[in-house]
């Protein structure tokens, strides 16, 4: 079996088992894989910019929490600041945050490219495009400028995975595993990913409520099938 250096994203709401499955595939899977976290939680990142680590250290020192769970929770949206000065300061903060976020996202993409250049299959734990699609790309309402720019970059410029696999399970199962967030937010995330499945291709859905060994085996079968087809498919597209 040839080792084609494609990329695959494991996505799903918190508690779906993305990290456990991804690390197990890297350690003992039948395919030469490099695991790479592609979410916004700085504590989980396997690679990050020095500026991101410095920012996180400052946030801990100041007692504030980082953006740890991807896209924003609508129920925790902050009201628009009152007064010209406060709005200007908020805009400046949003601009700096956008620069930091884009720099981090492109840095991890560069890391992924280096792995692929060395012949690895890159397995993403989450992916920025999938996490932010419903919030910064497909959002129908008016968005702040920083989020509109972020969504435009992810949709038009940022490389997407060659294959996306959704680890899906009912919100009650996800909540019982990690106890983070709320049932409503977990169900919302799940719906967002399932809607993305209707738009993206190739896309596979795996029942993450199964025993972990069964989930891993099913993901391996999907990877093997995709790997066997990747060469001919790419040559057809290139021609």
Q: Which residue range(s) make up the domain with 186?
A: 7-72+84-238
Which phi and psi angles does 77 have, rounded to 5°?
-65, 135
Nearest to 168, CA basis, from 204, 132, 199, 135: 204
pLDDT score for 95:
85
pLDDT score for 128:
96
Residue ranges of the chain whose pLDDT lies below 50: 1-3, 69, 231-239
pLDDT score for 104:
94
Is residue 77 included in any domain, yes or no? no
Helices (H), the chain: 18-28, 50-62, 84-117, 128-132, 145-156, 171-178, 183-197, 212-238
Nearest to 24, CA basis, from 218, 169, 196, 183: 218
Tokens 């949709």, located at residue: 155
Instruction: List the CATH number of the domain containing 198.
Output: 3.40.50.300
pLDDT score for 236:
33
Is residue 78 included in any domain, yes or no? no
pLDDT score for 230:
58
Is residue 118 included in any domain, yes or no? yes
pLDDT in tens, 211-232: 999 999 999 999 999 988 854 4
What end-to-end distance do the CA atoms of the chain give, in Å? 23
pLDDT score for 179:
84
Is residue 1 included in any domain, yes or no? no
Half-sphere exposure of 16 (CA within 13 A, CB side): 25
Is residue 120 included in any domain, yes or no? yes
Q: Rounded to two decimals, what is the model's pTM?
A: 0.84
- The length of the chain is 239
Under 8 Å between Cβ of 167 and 17:
yes
pLDDT score for 208:
97
Looking at the 3D structure of the chain, how many domains does it have? Answer: 1
Is residue 2 included in any domain, yes or no? no
Under 8 Å between Cβ of 47 and 36:
yes
Buried b or exposed e, range 41-55, using 16+ CB within 10 angstroms: ebeebeebeeebeeb
pLDDT in tens, 140-151: 678 889 999 999
Is residue 200 included in any domain, yes or no? yes
The dihedral through the CA atoms of 19, 22, 25, 26 has a sign that is negative
């Amino acid at each position: 079996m040839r080792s084609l250096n494609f990329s695959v994203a494991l996505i799903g709401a918190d508690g779906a088992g993305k990290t456990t499955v991804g690390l197990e595939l890297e350690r003992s899977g039948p395919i030469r894989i490099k695991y790479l976290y592609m979410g916004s939680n700085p504590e989980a990142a396997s690679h990050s910019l020095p500026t991101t680590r410095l920012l996180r250290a400052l946030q801990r020192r100041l007692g504030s929490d980082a953006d740890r769970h991807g896209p924003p929770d609508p129920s925790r949206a902050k009201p628009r600041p009152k007064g010209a000065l406060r709005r200007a300061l908020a805009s400046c903060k949003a601009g700096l945050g956008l620069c930091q976020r884009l720099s981090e996202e492109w840095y991890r993409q560069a890391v992924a490219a280096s792995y692929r250049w060395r012949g690895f299959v890159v397995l993403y734990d989450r992916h920025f495009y999938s996490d932010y699609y419903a919030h910064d790309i497909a959002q129908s309402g008016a968005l702040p400028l920083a989020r509109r720019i972020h969504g435009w970059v992810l949709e038009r410029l940022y490389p997407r995975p060659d294959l996306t696999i959704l680890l899906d399970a009912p919100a009650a199962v996800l909540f019982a595993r990690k106890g983070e967030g709320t049932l409503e937010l977990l169900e919302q995330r799940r719906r967002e990913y399932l809607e993305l499945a209707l738009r993206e291709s190739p896309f596979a859905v795996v029942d993450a409520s199964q025993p972990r060994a069964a989930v891993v085996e099913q993901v391996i079968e999907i990877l093997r099938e995709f790997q066997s087809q990747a060469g001919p498919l790419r040559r057809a597209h290139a021609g």
